[in-house]
Amino acid sequence: MTIENHTINDSESIRAYENRIRIFTHDLQQEKDPKKRAITALYLAEAATTLARLETQQS
C-alpha cells in the first residue's frame, strides 16, 4: 500500500484550508457566545484569506 506524503500531514495545503473553513463555518453557526463567535469569525477570515492566496499562487 502506497500513501503519498503530501496527503498525510500537509497542514498548509489548499485542501487543509478548505477543511479549516468548513470547520470554522460550522463552529460559527453553532456558537452562541458573542466573544467566541468573534474569535471564530477572525479565524475563518484568516483561513479564507490564506486559501485565496494559495489558490492564486497555484494558478
CB 54 within 8 A of CB 14: yes
Cα 17 from Cα 23, distance rounded (Å): 10
Residue 47 in this model has a pLDDT that exceeds 50: yes
Cα 35 from Cα 13, distance rounded (Å): 29
Q: What is the pLDDT of residue 50?
A: 96
- Once rounded to an integer, what is the mean pLDDT over residues 12-33? 96
Of all residues in the chain, the percent with pLDDT exceeding 70 is 85
Residue 7 in this model has a pLDDT that exceeds 90: no
